[in-house]
Amino acid sequence: MKTRLSGTTSWSRLFFRRPATNNAEESYYAASHWKLMLRKLMKHKLARISLYVLAMMYLMVIFANIIAPQGLDSYDSENLNSRPSKLHWVDPQGNFHFIPFVYGLKSSRDPVTLRKIFVEDKQKWYPIQFFVKGTEYKFLGLIPGNVHLFGVEDPGRIFVFGTDSLGRDLFSRIVLGSQVSLTIPLVGVSISFFLGLLIGGISGYFGGFIDTVIQRVIEIIRSFPTLPLWMALSAAIPPRVPIVHMFFYITIIMAFIEWTELARVVRSKFMALRNEDYVMSARISGVSNARIIRVHLVPGFMSYLVVTMTLAIPAMIIGETAMSFLGLGIRSPAASWGVLLQEAQQMENVALYPWKLIPLGFVIITVLAFNFLGDGLRDAADPYK
Amino acid sequence: MKEQPIMQVRNLVKEYPVHGGIGRNRQGAAVKAVSDISFTIRKGETFSLVGESGCGKTTLGRCLVRGIEATSGQVLYYTDEGVEVDFLQAKKQEYKAIRQNIQMIFQDPYSSLNPRMTVYDIISEPLRALSTLTKSEIDERVVEMARRTGLNISYLRRYPHAFSGGQRQRIGIARALITNPKVIVCDEAVSALDVSIQAQIINLLKDLQQQYQMTYVFISHDLSVVKHISDRIAVMYLGRIVELAPTEELFGQPKHPYSEALLLSVPNPDPTVRRERVILQGEVPNPANPPEGCHFHPRCPYKTALCETSAPELRDAGEGRLVACHHADQLKLKGITEAIPV
Ligand SMILES: Nc1ncnc2c1ncn2[C@@H]1O[C@H](COP(=O)(O)OP(=O)(O)O)[C@@H](O)[C@H]1O
Ligand SMILES: [Mg+2]
């Protein structure tokens, strides 16, 4: 045995090389925690669907300028409160068009209410075109461009979700608004993540007096009613600040409340893991404290932290939407879904132009998707069961 | 031959703070999980600690390996050169050196292996932390140890979830032995396993002890597990040793009523033999609030007025035995061999 073992062969190379017969069983046995977690997550149907939905949402965020046919500031004073355009495939002559088209619009009055409405002008139709030139924008704030995914030729108009009271295309504004509504929670959660990891870690590691103080502070922060807190904090924001700063302030306000939950998860997991046998075993094996934290404790609760973070995002989305809806958050000319919903504050607006509630649908879908994903992750966080 | 000491425990105490109700901790309230224990472990022997659950075996074992810090007392370790070092006070290099020699095998093979590490990382961790070996030397040691503990080399890149309890315990053993320790504390090392696998693991432990000349401190609540492997047995009750004797003598003729009760509660493997069983009466008292006098007196069938007021010392009872009972000399207690009519 001795002779076979001696020599300069690096054994690690020998057994870390993938075996030639890489059957499914072996790949399961050699699967790391994250791999197992992903595997289990993908078995959770709702979570999988949510993952796809969210992937689409964030693709929309990235390519927002291209997907939106109009810019954020574009408006059309001819088409105030216009209903969503209808797509047609069959023209008045009964010919079928493979590419759908929209009719031109002409305004008229409702014979009963005498309100201004738009009717389709069947004389003019405009087929949908792809990759048309339109409003100038900067892709990702850097690369200038003017190509939009779809559009119709002037003077035709396509309003997928109708227009608002200033004649701005709601679809374009939802798509562009998602850049704010869907990134604030991510940035906010990242800030909360660092605060939570740091403060929760300190609390759980040192325990005793420090822990008590931190826990009391967290309780105080969590017992604030959110609405007055938002009002107070946003009152502290100067009235005329650049959009970027505004975005930053709102994120901080959201994170200021959210980190407490993450800190609690970190602390309790830290305390639970500290008493695990394998941590004791590492100590007996002479592993240093710093390394125990890094190798044994932090990875142990990272999956739970990911779950908590995912479940914290919906609260942030709703928070930002509510703040902006109340005029405490993002302000025009910047747009977020909450800003778009401001028009739905008056009942009559909703009754007459129900499409103005469409941004709400986006909020709900996103929030649900994050919740389902979080649920799936929670089930998958302990993949050994 | 097995006379030289390798470890000596002196007046070891471990207290856990008790949280009294809501709010502030009640000052001074503590559970004495281990209260003033002293004994010597001899080189090469298997020294067993037995007692009911909650009597402080795990706490004592963990203090020995310094997995938890004892409240007071000493754990002296005798190096190869015969130098006596207090492991509990050892620092830096000295600590590292002794640390390699005192290792532990855990009870629960599921919670004692980090699920996020490969078997290779688990087994090699002590070497990486304590030795100055190169990567390839470590690899060699790991492969060798895997062989000796009956683990396939291809298992090394797997994660613990791939294994059954018995195999996991082999991984735990390989990890404990990788630094070539002199003393291994096995805390209920087989209690969590199936009976058929218990025997395999015990045989493995015995073989390894032979090969590497190790000293075992074997902790178990089950006397039948301990019987075949121990040289000497210490019986613990409520944080103290009540009797310490060579295995044969303890089984043949216990001197403490608690030892007798434990022995007679061991189920007999031969169902045709009927044994008069003295079932332990009452509950284990709360260790935070132990009874006056002899801790065992509320459950003792032989108790006298003396037992209720005065706590017996652990004293020499001849033939290398120690016992903590006022009436050890007068009582004629039943051992297992005596109770079974041949
Ligand atoms: N971490 C701890 N904190 C407080 N009390 C503990 C702790 N660990 C053990 N104890 C108490 O110490 C006593 C001895 O426990 P333990 O050493 O686990 O006994 P055994 O291993 O013999 O079952 C028990 O009463 C138990 O409740
Ligand atoms: Mg125990």
Q: What is the pLDDT along chain A (385 residues), one digit of tens a residue?
A: 333 333 334 444 445 544 445 577 777 787 888 888 888 888 889 999 999 999 999 999 999 888 888 888 887 777 777 788 878 888 878 888 888 888 877 777 777 777 777 777 777 778 888 888 888 888 877 888 888 888 887 777 788 888 888 888 889 899 989 988 898 889 999 999 999 989 998 888 777 889 999 999 999 988 888 778 878 877 888 877 777 777 888 888 888 888 898 899 889 988 888 888 999 999 999 998 889 988 998 888 888 888 888 988 998 888 888 888 888 878 777 888 988 888 888 888 888 888 888 899 999 999 999 999 998 998 888 777 6
> Judged by CB atoms within 8 Å, which residues 231-290 of A form the interface with B?
276-278, 280-288
Mean pLDDT over B79-105 rounds to 91
| Chain A residues within 8 A of B118 when measuring between CB atoms | 30
Mean pLDDT over B209-229 rounds to 91
Question: Among B231, B211, B302, which residue's Cα sits nearest to residue B261?
Answer: B302
CATH of B5-97+215-323, one of 3.90.1170.20, 3.30.420.610, 3.40.50.300, 3.40.605.10: 3.40.50.300
Query: B215 - beta bridge partners?
Result: B183
Separation in Å, CA A379 to CA A29, A44, A267, A303, A361? 20, 9, 21, 11, 27
CB contact under 8 A, A11 and B142: yes
- pLDDT band for position B2 (50/70/90)? low
CB contact under 8 A, A299 and B116: yes
Q: Which domains does chain A have, with CATH numbers?
A: 74-167 (no CATH), 184-380 (1.10.3720.10)
User: Which H/E stretch holds residue A118?
Assistant: strand A116-127
| Chain B residues within 8 A of A19 when measuring between CB atoms | 154
Q: Strands B240-246, B322-323: parallel, antiparallel or unpaired by DSSP?
A: antiparallel
Alpha carbon of B3: minimum distance to chain A alpha carbons (Å): 27
> Token digits for A363?
């909020």
Total number of residues shown for chain A:
385
CB contact under 8 A, B154 and A19: yes
| Chain centre to alpha carbon of residue B132 | 30
Q: In the A/B pair of chains, how many CB contacts fall below 8 A?
A: 99
Residue type, A48: R
Residue A299 at interface with chain B, using a CB cutoff of 8 Å: yes
- pLDDT band for position B240 (50/70/90)? very high
Separation in Å, CA B137 to CA A12, B122, B142? 10, 16, 9
Which letter, b or e, does each residue of A114-148 get, where b requires 16 or more Cβ atoms within 10 Å of its Cβ? Answer: eeebbeeeeeebbebbeeeebbebeeeeeeeeeeb
Question: Among B173, B125, B134, B114, which residue's Cα sits nearest to residue A287?
Answer: B125
Residue B109 CA to ligand 2 centre (angstroms) = 14
Residue B35 CA to ligand 1 centre (angstroms) = 12
Alpha carbon of A11: minimum distance to chain B alpha carbons (Å): 6
**Residues in the 5 Å CB sphere of ion ligand 2:** B 58
Separation in Å, CA A276 to CA A140, A200, B116, B338? 46, 18, 13, 44
CB contact under 8 A, B159 and A32: yes
A286: nearest CB among B130, B143, B147:
B130
Q: ∠ at Cα A286 (A282, A291), nearest 5°? A: 65
Residue B244 at interface with chain A, using a CB cutoff of 8 Å: no
Total number of residues shown for chain B:
342
CB contact under 8 A, A28 and B130: no
Instruction: Give the highest mean pLDDT range of A3-7, B206-210, B273-277, B330-334.
Output: B206-210
pLDDT (0 to 100) of residue A338: 87
Residues 6 or more apart whose Cβ sits within 8 Å of residue B162 = A28, A29, A30, B155
> Judged by CB atoms within 8 Å, which residues 49-68 of B form the interface with A?
62, 65-68
Residue B140 at interface with chain A, using a CB cutoff of 8 Å: yes
Q: Structural domain boundaries of chain B?
A: 5-97+215-323
Residue B130 at interface with chain A, using a CB cutoff of 8 Å: yes
Three-state DSSP class for residue B31: strand
pLDDT (0 to 100) of residue B134: 92
| Chain B residues within 8 A of A29 when measuring between CB atoms | 158-159, 161-162
Q: What is the pLDDT of residues B152-193, one digit of tens each?
A: 999 899 999 989 999 999 999 999 999 999 999 999 989 888
Q: Strands B72-78, B84-86: parallel, antiparallel or unpaired by DSSP?
A: antiparallel
Query: Do residues B277 and B288 lie in contact, with contact meaning Cβ atoms separated by under 8 Å?
Result: no
Residue B139 at interface with chain A, using a CB cutoff of 8 Å: yes
Three-state DSSP class for residue A287: coil
Residue A21 at interface with chain B, using a CB cutoff of 8 Å: no
Alpha carbon of B50: minimum distance to chain A alpha carbons (Å): 21
Q: Give phi and psi for A200, each to the nearest 5.
A: -65, -40
A277: nearest CB among B106, B135, B136:
B106
Test mutation, A10, A278, A297, chain B, max B CBs within 10 A:
A278
Whether ligand 1 lies within 6 angstroms of the CB of B227 is answered as no
Whether ligand 1 lies within 6 angstroms of the CB of B58 is answered as yes
Q: Hey, whose CA ends up nearest to atom 18 of ligand 1?
A: B58
